[in-house]
A and B are shown apart, each in its own frame.
Chain A
Amino acid sequence: MSDTLNTASLTDEDRVVVTVTALAVLGLVILYGGVGAGSTSSVSVTETANLAIGIVAFAPATMAAYYAVTALTWYATGPALTPGGGMKKLGAAA
């Protein structure tokens, strides 16, 4: 088994999971960096409430960012490389 990621074997579901997870990691780093600045307590109600609000606000932002990345990828490379139905369109054309 090779330890190298073969992107051609990824399913659409895999691509969505990877993209959304990467954006979530980025969001958490920003969120924790801001909310937790200067705090040394591991448990705080206000911090948790802020985090919950951030997550609720972050979910639509995540989806918007995902579609923005998809649209930019389509614009830059054409439909063949976009996540989703691009490969099917190419196959249908062939």
Chain B
Amino acid sequence: MEIRKLTCISCPMGCPLTVEMEGNEVISVTGNTCKRGDIYARKEVTNPTRIVTSTVKVIGGAADMVSVKTREDIPKDKIFDCVKSLKGVEVKAPVHIGDVILPNAGGTGIDIVATKNVEEV
């Protein structure tokens, strides 16, 4: 049996997690204080994922940039494909939270969406 120690990154509490594994199978997760910790631990030892956040340029808006994120978490090894796919992307104001900025970012199947409202000026 293999024991893996992790720090939960689901929220800033950063619970110290202990995962018991038998080969590729998770036997138990302890140290978490909520359900998310359990989910994170099981994912992290089998298929680690992250939400990626960045910004893109806005044309004709009240702000120069709009913040964006992957709508869901993406595989960790696709982070840089995702970041690269945002290079040179520009959007026209107005932009609202949840608007799709770039579909299927970096071939992950996950859309990039706006996380800020930028009104037209």
Is B a genuine binding partner of A? no
Q: Which chain B residues have a beta carbon within 8 Å of chain A's beta carbons?
A: none
Chain A residues close to B by CB (< 8 Å): none
